């Protein structure tokens, strides 16, 4: 079992309030909190917890295929974050070879209109979204329960993913990490920008069942020198 135990990167008042007595809280604001975050792989034992977490976090309902494929994927592509034994966040990724990426693009672009946000206005859909002969890592979901946000847990989950991209044999040949952010989700957009991601284009009418229906294609390039 691969379990990574990490401390909070910085003091996290909202979580501390729910775990500590008031005098402990006052002390902890000047010291590194002792509450650990544990990152666990996805297993058949904790997958029901992930189902409940995702239904709380995301407006999109993930079907059974999502969870079956997640369990079948290399363990490094998923991590569940626990605080004091409580599941508070998770990240789930999918490796896409160039053909799979083309297919997922064409599925999404049946309904969606792609609007370039940069100088790539005359490029094809593939050009705008960075499609190439390289494989990609798609961050399907990354979320943290609201009371535990702004404590660095989202960053820990994302750093796990970026470390995998840079160091795991499962990520050999990956040239880009990407995801979709619903338009209006400014917290998520600023979070990914802070980690070096850029917005490549806007997909209009990407979502069928939720509003706003548009999303942004947000991406980070992986080069031989690292991430950019
Ligand atoms: N005290 C105060 N602020 C802090 C602390 C701290 N101890 N630690 C981090 N922060 C700040 C960071 O500077 C950061 O600011 P920024 O995003 O403006 O740059 C902010 O808190 C968030 O950083 P983290 O704490 O690392 O991330 P968090 O755990 O809050 O998770 C996330 C961010 C995942 C976007 C969260 O808001 C969330 O779950 N949202 C709902 C689900 C969602 O929208 N997911 C993303 C879109 S879908 C997808 O990714 C595929």
Read off the pLDDT of residues 105-124 as tens digits, 9 standing for 90 and up. Answer: 766 655 566 776 654 433 43
Structure tokens at 217: 């294609």
The more confidently predicted of residues 137 and 5 is 137
Please answer whether residues 167 and 94 qualify as being in contact, where contact means their C-beta atoms are separated by less than 8 angstroms.
no
* pLDDT above 50: residue 25: no
Counting residues of the chain whose pLDDT is more than 90, the rounded percentage is 64
Distance 152 CA to ligand 1 centre (A): 7
Ligand 1 center to 148 CA (angstroms): 9
Residue 31 pLDDT = 32
pLDDT at 225 over 80: no
Annotated catalytic residue within 138, 178, 192, 207: 138
Tell me what percent of the residues of the chain surpass a pLDDT of 70. Answer: 74
Task: Identify the pLDDT of residue 207.
Answer: 94
Query: Dihedral of CA 6/10/16/22: which sign?
Result: positive
Nearest atom (ligand 1) to Cα of 141: 51
Q: Mean per-residue pLDDT for 198-214? A: 95
On average, the pLDDT of the chain sits at: 82
d(CA 25, ligand 1 centre) in Å: 22
Please determine, for residue 152, whether its predicted confidence score (pLDDT) is greater than 70: yes
pLDDT attached to residue 5: 63
Tell me, in angstroms, the distance from the centre of ligand 1 to residue 143's CA.
8
Closest residue by CA, ligand 1 atom 16? 191
Tell me, yes or no, if 207 is annotated catalytic.
no
Pocket (CB within 6 angstroms of ligand 1):
10-12, 57, 139, 141-144, 149-155, 179, 181, 185, 187-188, 190-191, 194
Higher-pLDDT residue of 30, 65: 65
Residue 82 is a catalytic residue: no
Give CA–CA dist 152/12, Å, rounded: 8
Q: What is the mean pLDDT of residues 92-112?
A: 76
The string of DSSP codes covering 47-75 is: HHHHHHHHHHH-SSPP-HHHHHHHHHS-G
pTM: 0.84
226 bridge partner residues: 223
> pLDDT band at 34, cuts 50/70/90?
very low
Are 153 and 193 a contacting pair, CB within 8 Å? no
CA distance 140 to 26: 38
- 4 or 49, which is more confident: 49
């Amino acid at each position: 079992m691969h379990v990574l135990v990490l401390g909070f990167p910085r003091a996290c008042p909202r979580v501390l309030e729910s775990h500590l007595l008031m005098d402990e809280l006052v002390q902890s604001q000047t010291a590194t909190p002792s509450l650990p975050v544990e990152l666990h792989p996805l297993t058949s034992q904790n997958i029901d917890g992930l189902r409940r977490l995702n239904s709380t976090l995301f407006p999109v309902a993930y079907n059974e295929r999502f969870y079956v494929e997640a369990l079948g994927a290399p363990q490094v592509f998923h991590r569940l974050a626990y605080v004091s034994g409580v599941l508070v966040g998770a990240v789930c990724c999918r490796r896409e070879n160039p053909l799979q990426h083309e297919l997922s693009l064409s599925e999404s672009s049946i309904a969606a209109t792609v609007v370039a946000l940069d100088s790539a206005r005359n490029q094809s859909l593939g050009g705008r979204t960075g499609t190439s002969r390289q494989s990609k890592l798609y961050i399907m979901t990354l979320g943290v329960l609201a009371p535990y946000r702004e404590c660095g847990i989202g960053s820990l989950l994302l750093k796990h993913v970026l470390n995998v991209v840079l160091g795991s044999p499962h990520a050999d040949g990956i040239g880009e990490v990407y995801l979709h952010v619903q338009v209006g989700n400014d917290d998520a957009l600023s979070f990914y920008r802070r980690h070096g991601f850029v917005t490549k284009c806007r997909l209009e009418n990407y979502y069928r069942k939720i509003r706003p229906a548009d999303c942004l294609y947000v991406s980070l390039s992986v080069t031989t020198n690292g991430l950019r």
